[in-house]
Amino acid sequence: MKVAHPDTRIGAIATGIDVRALSDADWHALYRTWLDSIVLVIRDQTLTIEEFLAYSRRFGRLKPHRVTRTRHPDHPELTVMGVGTRKPDGKVDRAVFERGGGWHTDSPWDIEICKATQLHAIAIPSHGGDTLFASMYDAYDTLPERLRARVENLKAEHVYGGRGRRGNELLEPDDRLRPPAVHPIVRTHEETGRKSLYANPYHILRIQGVSDAESEELIAELTDHMVATTAQYRHKWQVGDIVIWDNRCALHSATGGYPIEEKRIHWRVTIMQDESE
């Protein structure tokens, strides 16, 4: 196993391994690398759905995504990204095609903590379709003292699609009415002990304990700071890639820009944090 680090603060690329046949020592080394690097890429994997799910479960409990229409019919824990991009009339379904765009963490609208998301690249377009990642450890560490003191003990409400309810039409009617999930803006990582910012720009509804005007001001200021961090990694996908990122300390964004007539398909799982972690 070889591991390269594009940036010491975020991103690790592992080669020369088969995730179906990891020794305990290699598995623990890989897990530690992921915690330290926030984003872990493993190249050149060819897996069945069952093998991908089995490997994913080594990281934690899998939970079916709230968007039911893209769940695999036989494996509800698996979401198939990149299908259904056109409506029956042939027009592009922008809610599906643009899904994942805009800086965000996954599942902040869930009252449980979403530990990680993992994707396996099945089909990749000829160009475009990269994914950006940013370290929220670095965002917290570089936070101006004034702003840090202001948000240290505040909490934020999150709903699917945030204030604009973007992509809300992907949900079942009952799921659109779920109450907000509340999480602290500054969180301490359960496994590393490091502090990070957790104020999802895409799915945030409001910040509690301040006026609506102050909430909007804080959201804008935090967002500008978080996405400006230099601790970023841009992933250029290859077929066979497996990428896992830590939702507890990272933002990510799909860049888009790939041809609609070309396939960009990933298998996706949501990995939840258990109370013991």
Residue 276 has pLDDT above 90, yes or no: no
How many residues does the structure list for the chain? 277
Structure tokens at 197: 């910012």
Residue 120 has pLDDT above 90, yes or no: yes
Question: For position 111, what pLDDT does the model report?
Answer: 93
Question: For position 248, what pLDDT does the model report?
Answer: 98
Residue 245 pairs in a beta bridge with 39, 117
Share above pLDDT 70 across residues of the chain, in percent, rounded to a whole number: 89
Question: For position 163, what pLDDT does the model report?
Answer: 75
Structure tokens at 186: 């500054």
Q: Provide the 3-class DSSP secondary structure of residue 118.
A: strand
CA distance 81 to 79: 6
133-153 pLDDT per residue, tens = 999 999 999 999 999 999 999
- Please count the other Cβ atoms lying within 10 Å of the Cβ belonging to residue 27: 14
Question: For position 257, what pLDDT does the model report?
Answer: 85
Range of 74-83, 84-93, 225-234 with top mean pLDDT: 225-234
Question: For position 200, what pLDDT does the model report?
Answer: 87
Nearest to 102 by CA among 256, 218, 250: 256
Residue 169 has pLDDT above 70, yes or no: no
CA distance 247 to 44: 24
Question: For position 86, what pLDDT does the model report?
Answer: 63
Question: What's the whole-model pTM score?
Answer: 0.91
Amino acid making up residue 148: R
Mean pLDDT lowest among 12-26, 61-75, 115-129, 182-196: 61-75
Please give the backbone phi and psi of residue 14, each rounded to the nearest 5 degrees, phi first: -105, 135
CA distance 232 to 8: 10
Q: How confident is the model at residue 161 (pLDDT cuts 50, 70, 90)?
A: confident
Nearest to 229 by CA among 244, 251, 203: 251
Q: Provide the 3-class DSSP secondary structure of residue 9.
A: coil
Q: Can you list the domains of the chain with their CATH numbers?
A: 2-272 (3.60.130.10)
Question: For position 100, what pLDDT does the model report?
Answer: 55
25-64 pLDDT per residue, tens = 999 999 999 999 999 999 999 999 999 999 999 999 999 9
Question: For position 90, what pLDDT does the model report?
Answer: 67
Q: How confident is the model at residue 175 (pLDDT cuts 50, 70, 90)?
A: low
Q: How confident is the model at residue 93 (pLDDT cuts 50, 70, 90)?
A: low
Nearest to 201 by CA among 62, 75, 108: 108
Structure tokens at 61: 């409990």
Q: Which is more confidently placed, 50 or 100?
A: 50
Helix (H) or strand (E) holding 188: strand 186-188
